[in-house]
Amino acid sequence: MVSTELETYSKQVNDLIASLNKATGLSWVWESTGGGCDCLETIDDSGRLIMVTDCNAGIPLDTDDEWYIGIYPDEERTEPIEMVTVTDVKSCVAALQKLQADEVIMYEHVQVGR
């Protein structure tokens, strides 16, 4: 990527992070998973890694991207405990709320999306 493309991509990713932070009440970070792949991540209170990516192991920025939410037992990114497909910030929040209600992810002092 040339500088302008990288700046545009970085702004889009940071805007998505801000939207997810506001909508979920969680703190998301932009992580490189290696090999040119990246994702958004947060850790729940039990140490589970929550990862959001698109179907190409990138950040879901296009409006027609499918999003994947992967729940991993820890930061090692081994086999996921749960995988959910969503399409946007709103459906991501709804899926995370369901995962919290089902106790797949755990937050003592945060109610996702509230």
Q: Which residue has the higher pLDDT, 45 or 57?
A: 45
**Pair 86, 67: CB distance under 8 Å:** yes
Please report, rounded to a whole number, the percentage of residues in the chain having pLDDT higher than 70: 97
| pLDDT tens-digit readout, 25-51 | 889 999 987 788 899 999 999 999 999
Domain definitions of the chain by residue range: 3-101
pLDDT at site 41: 94
pLDDT at site 2: 59
| pLDDT tens-digit readout, 87-101 | 988 999 999 999 998
pLDDT at site 58: 87
- pLDDT band, residue 78 (cuts 50/70/90): confident
Residue 114 has pLDDT above 70, yes or no: no
Nearest alpha carbon to residue 85 among 55, 48, 40: 55
> What's the rounded Cα separation, in Å, for the pair 8 and 16?
12
Helix (H) or strand (E) holding 52: strand 49-54
Residue 75 has pLDDT above 70, yes or no: yes
- Residue 42 CB partners (closer than 8 Å, separation 6+): 26, 27, 28, 29, 49, 50
Residue 63 tokens, joined: 């409006």
